[in-house]
Amino acid sequence: MEEIVQGVNSINLTADSHKKNRIQVSNTKKPLFFYVNLAKRYMQQHNEVELSALGMAIATVVTIAEILKNKGLAVEKKITTSTVDLKEDMRGRPVQKAKIEILLGKTEDFDELMAASAEERDVVDGEVQG
């Protein structure tokens, strides 16, 4: 009986940790670099981040992933595409929307690159104030 309880508890823990590093991206609610910076913070805390979006926001998720990859901060681990049924129609009929999930992991140079960009910001701030 104890083994079953421990198994259920471990499942709940992995499900909780998976949700903590997930970002549901919108192309209208927040600016692009809000999500880029949030993804960086999540990668610092959890070593990986999952970006998710529906419909028109898919392009925003792909852009965020490409920005992080081009800066050398992230590598793609997994990309999942699917469709989701939503009740958006006025008559309550289900409407299918495309969905994408991109799992990004930290690169080996992530911490060094983040430290270098933090130093760069400190120098710029010091010059402005000095």
SS3 call for 67: helix
CATH topology assigned to domain 22-128: Translation Initiation Factor IF3 (3.30.110)
For 4-43, how does the pLDDT look when each residue is reduced to its tens digit (9 = 90+)? 545 545 544 444 445 689 999 999 999 999 999 999 999 9
pLDDT tens-digit map of 43-93: 999 999 999 999 999 999 999 999 999 999 999 999 999 999 888 767 878
C-alpha 87/C-alpha 8 separation (Å) is 33
Residue 36, class by beta-carbon neighbours within 10 Å (0-12 exposed, 13-18 middle, 19+ buried)?
A: middle
Between CA 86 and CA 97 the distance in angstroms is 7
State residue 71's pLDDT score.
Answer: 93
pTM for the whole thing?
0.76
Spatial contact of 122 and 130, defined as CB atoms under 8 Å apart: no
Q: How confident is the model at residue 3 (pLDDT cuts 50, 70, 90)?
A: low
Q: Look up residue 94 and give its two tokens.
A: 């289900």
pLDDT for 24 = 95
Residue 17: per-residue pLDDT: 47
Model confidence band, residue 118 (pLDDT cutoffs 50, 70, 90):
confident
Domain boundaries, the chain: 22-128
Tell me how crowded residue 26 is: count the other CB atoms within 10 A of its CB: 13
